[in-house]
Amino acid sequence: MGDSIIEAERNGAGASAHSIDDLGGHRRTAVTVVASSPMAVQTDPRRFGVQLKRWRTERRFSQHELALRSEVSQRHLSYLENGRSRPSPEMIEHLSIALDVPLRARNSLFVAAGFAPAHSEEPMDGDGLADLRRSLQRLVDAHHPFPAYVVDRCWNLQLSNEAAAMMTMLLVDPGLALEFGGNILRMALHPEGLKRHVPNWPVVAASLVDRLRRECELDPSDSELAALADEVRRYPGMDALPDVAVSGGDQLLTELHVLVDGRLLRLYTTVMSLTAARDITVSEIRLETLLPADAASERVLRDLAGSPAG
């Protein structure tokens, strides 16, 4: 161990010995080499402990429950939370998975423990996601003549097919759509947006707000999503929405009812995500499709798209 510290000093970096936990919760001595990068720094172990305890509390786990869930001893979880022990990167990832911490927030845990962020965040329109973007575009196009689109974590439109674009043009004023910034949630909940064309808007809005609430609870540290939630909750009529648990009546699924050129569309909404994502942007992508709930709605959608009956 001493040779490692000396070698690090010769290379212009500092080093320190400290105790860390492996995945089995066993303490071992390790050397942290502190290079010139501002991200590779030694930090107060209590910073990580505070964040770990906050996430455990958010998920309503006791230390014992998290120990069982993660298969890490309660004693070592206690050491991590009070700063008596520093976690390894493997332990951070392991506990993050057990606590269902989103990748965006997971990076903060790595930084708090003195490590560089473990998960990249490629821009959706960047070269790094070009292949994925093409695949997603093929997927939404395959849903034509039924509307399909891709949104990010804050419900901003990223990709769509012709059917979705056509429905937006028919139902939302182009100037308002521009003002909404391509945000699907604003279009759906604003009184000048889709609300005027949705006969069962209170039921649909209650379902959307409930979904937004659950997404905010998944990552309470996401200030951008929280700001969007605060904004839409201030829209007129939002304080009089029905309880989502009873608003759907005896329906198996909450339907979206839309009036297009005087014709009623009854639609189901499906939301899909990409599993096993290692990049933050990819993990937050949602692919949404609107499927006809009956034969009449399917005929209307095919008619609007000029497609033959299936």
At residue 307, the pLDDT reads 62
At residue 176, the pLDDT reads 86
The string of pLDDT tens digits covering residues 157-170 is: 999 999 999 999 99
d(Cα 93, Cα 182) in Å, to the nearest integer?
A: 34
d(Cα 183, Cα 156) in Å, to the nearest integer?
A: 4
Closest-CA residue to 91 (of 211, 279, 73): 73
At residue 276, the pLDDT reads 87
At residue 310, the pLDDT reads 52
At residue 11, the pLDDT reads 44
Residue with tokens 């990010």: 152
At residue 232, the pLDDT reads 96
**pTM greater than 0.95:** no
Residue 158 tokens read as: 């990223």
At residue 41, the pLDDT reads 57
d(Cα 293, Cα 254) in Å, to the nearest integer?
A: 10
Residue 8 tokens read as: 């690090």
d(Cα 39, Cα 35) in Å, to the nearest integer?
A: 9
In 10 A of CB 262, how many CB atoms?
5
d(Cα 20, Cα 43) in Å, to the nearest integer?
A: 13
Tell me the sheet residues that pair with 151: 157, 286
At residue 309, the pLDDT reads 58
CB burial of residue 28 (10 Å; 0-12, 13-18, 19+):
exposed
Which amino acid is residue 177, in one-letter code? A
Q: Which residues of the chain have pLDDT under 70?
A: 1-42, 244-252, 307-310
- What are the angstrom distances between the C-alpha of 272 and each of 52, 97, 116, 139, 277? 29, 20, 30, 12, 13
The string of pLDDT tens digits covering residues 273-296 is: 998 899 999 999 999 999 999 999
